[in-house]
Amino acid sequence: MKLPRAMRPPDLHFAGTPVPAVAVRAVFTVAGVLLSLVDYGPSGWLAVGIVLSVWAACSPQYLLGWVLVLFLAAGRLAHPAELNWQFLVLLLGLHLLHVLAMLALELPLRSWVQARVFVAPMRRFLVAQVPTQLLAVVALLLLAPSKDGHRPLTVAGFAVVGTLALAGLALLLTGPRVEGRHPPSKVNGAAPRN
């Protein structure tokens, strides 16, 4: 018995450029190493970050990507609470590592995927990062102590701001929803009862 030759589907040229799934793991490794360098600098902890980055990329089924995220987040505890570029880069990078670890977990190593597969996760990543970065900047400007130890916002002021934020969130969550409402329809020619 002779099997028919595999033919390329006629619509494949419209599918976009295929990307090897190993590229996700490579980007994860590079991002993990760079974030370890930003967080720990040239120290012995940088070697731990490099090993975790490579190991997590090679074996995503062991969920070491999230161990790397925790390792990098713990590294910020040694730094003072101040607004600087390292904190903002780390905040962005930890979320990126999370997204890449999820993708590496789902995509087989030897597979090829369409580039469009990455559009939705990256869109959600950006939608989450814009308010997160803004809130981090505002929170550090208001709550982080200055060089002389003075905090711009005291505990009482923080309580007021927090109460207003919670009230606004409650209004957003319990407010009317426009998307699911439809005008009442007539049933058998009769007007609806109010």
pLDDT (tens, 9 = 90+) of the chain, 194 residues, equals 565 664 545 555 555 678 899 999 999 999 999 999 999 999 999 999 999 999 999 999 999 999 999 999 999 888 887 888 999 999 999 999 999 999 999 999 888 888 888 999 999 999 999 988 988 888 888 777 777 776 666 666 667 777 888 888 888 788 766 555 555 665 555 555 55
Q: What's the angle, vertex CA 65, arms to CA 104 and CA 120, rounded to 5?
A: 45
User: pTM higher than 0.75 for the full model?
Assistant: no
- Provide the residue ranges of all domains of the chain, joining segments of one domain with +: 16-128
pLDDT, position 59: 94
